[in-house]
Homo-oligomer: A and B are copies of this chain.
């Protein structure tokens, strides 16, 4: 995939993560882009804001994109390695690519996705990692709740 484009798209996910943090929520953001580069949906984790444990960043972006006939050629961009729930979403709906901001603070299912034919780019972005590290240090209980630990 085009790395410059991936980095530009990651900026949208980072904006979402920052917005979630400013709302007192878990700072993970995501965006779904179409094969033509159109933004289909964007969102962030809303566990705290909506009391909704199903609203992970990736599922929020997927939901915001509404019904799509196919996900072939789409790219999910997320600030953090996708958990099993979000990895399952990507595999089930045939999302073609995942851009992962960082996988240092949490290593989810992106290797499993790669093994099942999903194109993966791990950016290892310093801001994504710093935002998560700081959040996990400040609110470990909330983070553990979000990943069912």
| Among B83, B92, B147, contact of A148 (Cβ-Cβ < 8 Å) | B92
Besides A53-B67, A54-B63, 9 more A-B contacts (Cβ < 8 Å) are A53-B65, A53-B66, A54-B62, A59-B59, A70-B148, A71-B148, A84-B88, A86-B88, A88-B109
| Residues of B contacting A87 in the complex (Cβ-Cβ under 8 angstroms) | 88
What is the minimal beta-carbon distance from A102 to any residue of chain B, in angstroms?
Answer: 18
Q: Is A94 an interface residue (CB 8 A)?
A: yes
Chain A interface residue count, CB cutoff 8 Å, equals 30
CA A105 to CA B88, docked complex, whole Å: 20
What is the minimal beta-carbon distance from A115 to any residue of chain B, in angstroms?
Answer: 13
CA A94 to CA B148, docked complex, whole Å: 6
Q: Which residue of B lies closest to A149 (CB)?
A: B94
Once A85-B85, A88-B109 are accepted as A-B contacts, the answer to whether A54 and B47 lie under 8 Å apart by CB is no
Q: Is A89 an interface residue (CB 8 A)?
A: yes
Which chain A residues in 88-133 approach chain B with CB under 8 Å? 88-89, 91-94, 109
Q: Which residue of B lies closest to A147 (CB)?
A: B92
